Each structure stands twice: as C-alpha cells, then as structure tokens.
Structure 1
C-alpha cells in the first residue's frame, strides 16, 4: 500500500506548507512526512527560515539639478509569515518563479524609496549626505512589503557613482576648501606672531632694566673695535673735578 503514500522531506532551517486538493491544511516543521495520496492531490511548499540577500546594482537616477548618477543597494529579508507569502503569489508554476516575482516586488518598492530620496537633493547635497543613505529602511517600506508576509531586516546603500566630470568638480572643490583652510590657519599664525613681536617690542621699549642692558651691550661692541674713553655719569660733575 506504500504506492499510495507520498513522502515529503522538510530540511533543517525550512518550513513546509502542506496543501491537499490545492487547499492549505497544515504547517510542517523540519522532518520526513508520509501522507496518503491516492489521487496525487497533495503538495508541500518549502520556504526558508533564514534571511535571504537581494543585491541590486547599476541603477540610474537624476538628482534635483539633473545630474545622472548610478547607485547600488542590497536588502536582507526573511519570510515571516509563510502562509501569507504563499497566498500573495500564483502557485501554478515552479517556486523559482515565485521567488523571482517576490524579489522583483521588493526591488521595486525599495528602489522607489531610494530614488525619491536622492531625486529630492542636488548633486552636491547627495555627495555630502551620502552616509545618511547607508541605512534607508523606513516604516513605509516595511509596511508595504509586510503585506507579502516578508520582513525587511536591512536595506543599505552600497555605493553612489557620479559622472567623471562631476567627480573632478567635487575633487577641485574639496582641494579649494582644504587650501582655503590652510591659508586661513597661516594668516592666523602670522597675525599671532606679529602681535607677539609687537608686545615684546613694547615691553623692551618701556622697561628700564632692558634699556640698561642694551646700553651695556652697545658699550661692549664699541670697546671691541679699539681704545675709547667712556664718560659715565653727568658731564658737569667731571668738569667741576677738572677745575
């Protein structure tokens, strides 16, 4: 009688959904099952319990200032409600085609959200804020995709590529900003140095001890050049002594 029993295998990390006569009957956990099936009316659909990765590359979008750029992103998703997932797609075809349609829906929903966010900004703002796009999973995306029994775990931007001429403009702009910053720092240093020298000069000008040491230094230099007579003190006092 085993010829009238159909055997199904549900492997680890997957869940099986048992249908009889195209009607859902029950959910099967990992294991091996045998069902009576006299008229070949049973079917088990296997869905993974682990996250799946969807990678989308080479997408094009126009920024607010009409610069065409390309971007890539990836999405980690998981089937959270297998019954709802199977109810959302036609099952009269291989499961590979069902997955293809499901991922196309995810692709369209996520891509539209990212396109709208990029298109609302000019190219320079996109370049400056590109890190803010790294995680663009939103409540709206989650709710829209949840109707298929799917939960989005991550939605991340991989890269944004600008046209070569725009990249060159950004590079020149960055170089100008760095140079201007360096010039400003040099100017501040020059002003600070000049202020310090002025303060030092004012200090030397008004300080009596410094004046005295400057005078001694002058006498020393004159004496080194030959024999000289120096008169220190009041000249009138020396005149009186001579008399």
Structure 2
C-alpha cells in the first residue's frame, strides 16, 4: 500500500491473492488483482489480503462474511461435515487429506479444482482397498496430516491391521466384537470409534514352563522343566473366556505340574517318568479345551536334583551296580564249578574220555614250549614224566 497526495491511497493486489477492502473496519468489497487508487479523506480504508494458493480461508470473520456477503461466498467452497461422517478432500484429483468429523471447510475456489467425498461412519468402518492404498501412498495416515481444528482430538485417521499367514485377527469396534479377519492388510476408520484387534496364531506352537522348584511328597526340592505343544482351534471362544491366552496356558500347566510332582515321592518320580506327562495332560486338557485350545503333547524335559541329593543317588546307583556285578560273578563261578564237577564225573567212568582230555592238555602245553623230550614212548610220557627244557 502506498499513498499519493494527501487523500489518496494505492492498494496493490497480487495474483493468487484475495483482498478485502474495509472502511472504518467494516467490510466494503472485494478487490481484484491489480492496482487500486482510492480516495481516503479520513484515513478509514484498510485492506486485508489472503494467499489463495494456501487453499484454506482461515479468518475469525470468515463465517460472518460468507453468510452476509454473497460476493465473498462466491469465492469460497463451504463444506460442513456431520459428526457421523468424515471427508476425503481432493484437489485436482489428488488426495489432499482426511477431514475429521464435524469440521467446516472454507476453501478458496481459485486454489484448484476441489472435491470432497463423504464417508459415513455409522456402518462398515473398513477402508476400501483403493482409498487405503492412496492414503498410504500420499502419506496421509498421520496425526499431523489430519485436517481438523485445533480443539479437535487428533489421531491417525486409519487403524492399519496386518494379519500374517496362518493367523487370524478379531476386530472390535468400541469394545464390541464385529468379525474375524483372515490373512491380509486391512484399514479401519478410527476418528469416531475405538478400533481394537486381537491376533491369534493358528499353528501348533510350543509353550515352556521352565525353572519350577517343586517340593516332592518326601520333601525333596526338585527343579522341573516342562514343554507342551498347543494349538488354538476357536479364537472367538478364547477371546470371550480369557484376556491373555498365553498367560492362561502357562499358569494352567504350571499348577498342574506342581500338583503332579507334589503328590509323588522322588523315587516314584524317577521310576515312572511318564507319570508327570500323563497327569499334567489329564489335568489341563479339558481346561484348555474350554477356552478353544487343543493340547497336542506335553512332556517333562528334565528333572534337576539338588547337588547333595545327586551325590547320594550316584552312590546308591554305584553300590547297586557293584552288588549286581558281584551276584553275576558268583553266578558264573558257580556255573563253572558245576561244569567241572560234571566233567570229572564223566571222565571217572570213561577212561577213553580221560585219555582224550589228557591229550588235549598236552597239546596246549606243547604250544608254549621250545623243546619237548619224550622218554619211554607216549604211554610212558602220559604215565610218569614229562621233561620240559
């Protein structure tokens, strides 16, 4: 703005600029782009300018001016959204942003070709595949990109949900179960509703109960590690019955393991290693089935004994094995003696057999000597003497 003379003012309005002329702070008219020379004897004229390429007409007087002056209304798109709908704002067919429910938009028509698509929030909240891909591509699913007034509660407009293969997700809207989602990528409007999902793995999976120090019936503390294979069969039932399924499975197995071990002595546990597996399965199987989970297999990985108990058991085992070895040795000696006795009886009544036994002994002896001198023939050798040199 420049002055010429004493009572004349010059106002310059640039391209892509909207200018309102005020006299005594009252709106008078819209100034088009260009140079305006106006008489102002009382210094009452002022101009308020707006950048049209900023898209948004934001001014405390905007509602009043649009409602009162048709020439202002002609310059602006006015869109009002209900509390049960949101808007997708496009400029020149490109997504500009998501407009929060209940918002009022004032947009300069000269900024571009605008379009506002309304989306009702009273029914299905799932975002269509095309819109979802466009929001992701344009980076509009951010709190800072939401088109809303300062007083509005801001959040990302879309709740993104990715369900992996062999998984399912349960969709809840405002705490109410809506439907089950299979593998894939989903988006749900969350500007007016609370979106929650619970994901469940449908594959068989292992659950460990490790480092459980348990007192046996005979008051010996043992550390037991248990593993089980479970599979979720009914995710909806599981979600209805328990809040944290994995925690429920763990605690059920833990309590069953403590009951199984605590009612048996240490010797009984070591003698029957399958007892704990069978007992835990009997105690837990129906309980897990009631929450939609199948118990496929359960087993004790190891039973760890205290150091002093382990040393005592090693001594006991060593003594038992030594006793068993001694019994076997005595049994073999008895069998050998009995065999010699039977052989002696047979040779006593059979001279020929005795002679054959003598020859056999002689053969074994002759293999171990360098020279053998025989006197008086073989008969004399057998009856009297054998000289070895």
Give the TM-score taking structure 1 as reference length.
0.74
Matched, 1:144 2:292: no
Match of 1:120 among 245, 251, 263: 263
Q: Which residue of 2 aligns with 1:234?
A: none
CA distance in 1, matches of 2:258, 2:175: 40
Structure 1 pair 184–224 and aligned structure 2 pair: CA distance change class (3 A): closer
Q: Which residue of 2 aligns with 1:50?
A: 203
* 1:152 Cα deviation after fit: 2.2
Match of 1:16 among 147, 150, 169: 169
> Are 1:136 and 1:156, in contact at CA under 8 Å, matched by a contact in 2?
no
> Are 1:70 and 1:160, in contact at CA under 8 Å, matched by a contact in 2?
yes
Structure 1 pair 34–151 and aligned structure 2 pair: CA distance change class (3 A): same
Matched, 1:32 2:32: no
> Are 2:224 and 2:304, in contact at CA under 8 Å, matched by a contact in 1?
yes
Where structure 2 has 5 or more consecutive residues not aligned to the other structure, the ranges are 1-86, 89-97, 99-118, 120-126, 128-157, 359-376
Task: Judge which range, 8-17 or 159-168, deviates more.
Answer: 8-17
SS at match of 1:160: strand
Task: Judge which range, 128-137 or 170-179, deviates more.
Answer: 128-137
Matches within 5 A, 1:1-243: 1-2=87-88, 3=98, 5=127, 6=158, 7-35=160-188, 39-90=192-243, 98=244, 102-133=245-276, 137-209=280-352, 219-220=380-381, 221-222=383-384
Where structure 1 has 5 or more consecutive residues not aligned to the other structure, the ranges are 91-97, 226-243
The CA RMSD over aligned residues, in Å, is 2.9
SS at match of 2:217: coil
SS at match of 2:192: coil
* 1:20 Cα deviation after fit: 2.4
> Are 1:55 and 1:74, in contact at CA under 8 Å, matched by a contact in 2?
yes
> Are 2:171 and 2:197, in contact at CA under 8 Å, matched by a contact in 1?
yes
Q: Which residue of 2 aligns with 1:93?
A: none
Structure 1 pair 217–112 and aligned structure 2 pair: CA distance change class (3 A): farther
CA distance in 1, matches of 2:386, 2:254: 88
SS at match of 1:109: helix
* 1:135 Cα deviation after fit: 6.0
> Are 1:135 and 1:157, in contact at CA under 8 Å, matched by a contact in 2?
no
CA distance in 2, matches of 1:223, 1:60: 78
| Residue deviations 1:190-225 (CA, integer Å, cap 9, x gap) | 1111111111211222224357888x9774454889
Task: Judge which range, 189-198 or 75-84, deviates more.
Answer: 75-84
| Residue deviations 1:61-82 (CA, integer Å, cap 9, x gap) | 1212111111111233232211
Q: Which one has the bigger strand percentage?
A: 2
Larger radius of gyration: 2
Give the TM-score taking structure 2 as reference length.
0.49
